[in-house]
Amino acid sequence: MDLTPIPSQTVGPYFQIGMTDHHSIGKMAGPMAKGERVKLTVTVLDIEGKPVDDAMIEIWQANADGKYNHPDDKQDKPIDPAFRGFGRQGTNENGVCTFQTIRPGRVPGPDGTLQAPHLEVSVFARGLLMRLPTRIYFAGDPANDEDPILALVPKDRRGTLMAQPVRGESGGWRFTVNLGGDQETVFFDV
């Protein structure tokens, strides 16, 4: 018997095939969507701080009232027909992708608590066998201090989950996904 090692399997290079313009969803909120408009720019960096030019970011979020457009969300709140709640974008040569969305409302948490406004994020990239789940919170939101999920993250690591406002750009927010290194983004085991 010959035990010759073979290359490891990753999610690429073929997942980029699904990232054609037809399958990309960058505009999550239509013109009539309720809520505060947000332009979210996401940058993905590798362990050396270099842009990852072929990552894929998926976002799932609640609408402005804190309701997910999903049958499992049984809250007695309206679904906004002008808001998709899901986005998917591939990163460009600079490791960047942009979503046009709204600031989500607060959703229920464990034991009757409320979670701070956040976006659920899945990161896919070469070299990864599975998606990396994380969250994006909005820096400076007072609800962050009482979010039960964010409280599970050590204080010195919470900054890796915070989108930062873009100066001079109304509704502009920037978030960086660091796949490794000293500022590695917190990823969740879900």
Distance CA 148, CA 137 (A): 13
**159-190: pLDDT as tens digits:** 999 999 999 999 999 999 999 999 999 999 97
- pLDDT band with cut points at 50, 70 and 90 for residue 9: very low
Domain 14-178 has CATH 2.60.130.10: yes
Residue in 61, 44, 58, 48 with CA at minimum distance from that of residue 15: 58
Check whether 15 has a pLDDT greater than 70.
Answer: no
Question: Are 79 and 119 in contact, with CB atoms under 8 Å apart?
Answer: no
Give me the residue spans of the domains in the chain: 14-178
Specify whether the CB–CB gap between 59 and 87 falls below 8 A.
yes
pLDDT recorded at residue 8:
47
- What is the number of H-type helices and E-type strands within the chain? 0, 8
With 0-12 / 13-18 / 19 or more C-beta atoms within 10 angstroms meaning exposed / middle / buried, residue 24 is middle
- Determine the Cα–Cα distance for residues 23 and 10; give it in Å rounded to an integer: 21
**Predicted confidence (pLDDT) per residue in 122-165, tens digit:** 999 888 888 999 999 999 999 999 999 999 999 999 999 999 99
Tens digit of each residue's pLDDT (9 = 90 or more) over 80-136: 999 999 999 999 999 999 999 999 999 999 999 999 999 999 999 888 888 999 999
Closest CA to 84 of 61, 106, 105: 61
Residue 24 pLDDT class (50, 70, 90 cuts): confident
Compute how many other C-beta atoms are within 10 angstroms of the C-beta atom of residue 183. 12
